[in-house]
Amino acid sequence: MPRLVFTMIVVALTVVVGGELATVRGQALSGEYRIGVLEPVTGPLAFEGKRHMEGLEIVRDLINERGGVMGKKLVFTVADATDPTAAASEANRLITREGVKIITGTFSSRLCGAASEVAARHNVIYWESSCVDPRFNKRGLKHVYRTEIDATGFGWYNVEFIAKHLAPRLNLRPNQIKIAFLSEDSSYGQGVTESARQRAKTEFGMQEVMLEYYNWQTLNDMTPTILKMKQLNPDIVHHISFSNDGVLFWRQAKEQNFLFKALVHAGATGYGGSDFGKALGNDANGVFALLEPGPGFRLEALKPEGQAIEKAFRDAVQKRTGTYPFGAHQLAGSGLWLLKLVLDRSQSDDPEKFRAAVMSLDLPVGSMINGWGVKFSELGQNANERVQHYMLQWQDGQLVTVWPEEFSTLRAKWIPLGAWDQRK
């Protein structure tokens, strides 16, 4: 008899505990909740758009393994936003024909403005996970949100790194640094560059020796710019590149034997994309790019909940792509995970209830994927100081995390950059 009672208790416990675990890991979800996803999956921006889609799909699956959103399985209706016109018309279609109440996307500063305007006109929630155009959240659109840092934040971090990490290692005071600003001319490039220029000049008194913008889509030769730079002899080149312009500059700088002490970029494009390393191999060594975390990132530096989701995310990306997450995966993934946190709290896609939930979220740095925290401003912008960013450096064909040092096991090298053939 006692054995029978013991057996029954064990069986009952197994059922209860197993059931509880099932509700956490594979909860029986009641129906589907559909959101609109706008990404450029064809056309000239597709190289990043497709990676964003990958990041979104990976985190969607993680979310559905963890109870979905509002108790429902999260599903996507995907629309192709190849350019601003398509972004606007597809946003309109998602709302009027597909009936979605939330749209997320679009990664590019070229697209997010047009798409979010349409969403705002229909009183639909627009949840941007990437574009960094500083004007995005300054248009008075109440239900438009951005989870990623804006371009002014990129500029702030870059100058912080130059003034506080590079300058001492170059045996220079910040106001002795000669800096050349070069950038592609989209709102992303201009936003980062202008905020960096302002902080470099007003806060640190750095000496700006050059400012030049260009259109990356029609750029075939950077030799004239490089020859001009050689004459100006900057210590730091602050270059915001968008795609192959980074490869072109670096390759032609080597050809022309243009020597300077460091190059600093921001964002997952250009120097921050994996293509840069593929194109140049070890010749890429030494370039800095402000990004989401890469190899060398210390999980232990995060809060326990941040460690758990960051690890699950990394493992899922590794399983699907065979690589460490790229910036596009990380931006899209963290944005979608944050959307889940908000919907879990609001339990509604009513714009007012959703907004109340967004504003009530207050998570410190280290709580989320990428080690980010959450605190939205009234403008719908996640606070730059909570969206922790990291300086990565190309080292032997890989972008690795080197700063802030408390988040990294690896350290920056080649400060200053030596001769081109010495960066091994």
Partner 1 sequence: MLLGGIYALISVGLTLIFGIMRVVNFAHGEFLMLGMYLAFWAFVVFTADPYFVVFVAIPLFFVVGLVVYGLVMRGVIHASHNVQIFTTVGLSTVLQNVALVAWSGDFRFVRPWHLSTVLRAGSTIFNLTQVVASLIAVTLTLALVAFMKWTHAGRVMRATAQDRDAATLMGIDTDRVYRLTFAIGIAAVGAAGVLVAPLYSVYPTAGLQFVLLSYVVVVLGGLGDMLGAMLGSLIVAAVEVAGSYLFGAAWKEIFYFILFILVLVFRPAGLFGQRGAETLGV
Return residues touching partner 1 (CB under 8 A).
42-50, 185, 212-215, 217-225, 227-228, 243-244, 247-248, 251-252, 254-257, 273, 275, 278-279, 281, 283
* Rounded least distance, CB 90 to partner 1, Å: 16
Exposure pattern of 49-79 as b/e (b: 16+ CB <10 Å)?
A: bebbbbbbbbbbebbbebbbbbebbbebbbb
* Least CB distance to partner 1 at residue 332 (A): 15
Least Å distance between CB 232 and partner 1? 12
State the residue for tokens 């990958």.
Answer: 54
CB closer to partner 1 out of 79 and 302: 79
CA torsion, ordered 112, 116, 118, 121, to nearest 10 deg: -160
For partner 1, give the closer residue by CB, 72 or 254.
254
- Return the number of the residue (171 or 220) whose C-beta is nearest partner 1: 220
Please report how close the Cβ of residue 394 comes to partner 1 at its closest, in angstroms. 15
Rank residues 120 and 240 by Cβ distance to partner 1 and give the closer one: 240
Rounded least distance, CB 285 to partner 1, Å:
14
Please, which residue, 237 or 402, has the CB nearer to partner 1? 237
The sign of the torsion formed by the CA atoms of 294, 298, 302, 306 equals positive
Considering only CA atoms, which of 283, 213, 203 is closest in space to residue 247? 283
Cβ atoms 73, 343 nearer than 8 A: no
Of 68 and 105, which CB lies nearer to partner 1 in the complex structure? 105
Q: Least distance in Å: CB of 409 to partner 1?
A: 29
Nearest distance from C-beta of residue 213 to partner 1, angstroms: 5
Strand locations in 11-159, DSSP E?
A: 32-39, 73-80, 102-105, 125-128, 144-146
Count Cβ atoms below 10 Å from residue 6 Cβ, excluding itself.
10
Lay out the sheet containing 144-146: strands in order across: 73-80, 32-39, 102-105, 125-128, 144-146
Smaller CB separation from partner 1, 104 or 241: 241
How far apart CA 422 and CA 424 sit, in angstroms, is 6
Alpha helices in 1-101 (DSSP H): 2-25, 46-65, 84-96
CA distance 404 to 365: 13
Which residue's CB is nearer to partner 1, number 189 or number 306? 189
List Cβ neighbours of 9 (8 Å cut-off, separation of 6 or more): none
- How far, in Å, CA of 227 to CA of 96, rounded? 53
In angstroms, the CA 381 to CA 363 distance is 14
67 residue type, one letter:
G
User: Nearest distance from residue 398's CB to partner 1, in Å?
Assistant: 17
Both tokens of 366, joined, read 């280290």
**Helix or strand or coil: residue 297?**
strand
Q: Which of 145, 214 has the CB closer to partner 1?
A: 214
Closest approach of Cβ 363 to partner 1, in Å?
34
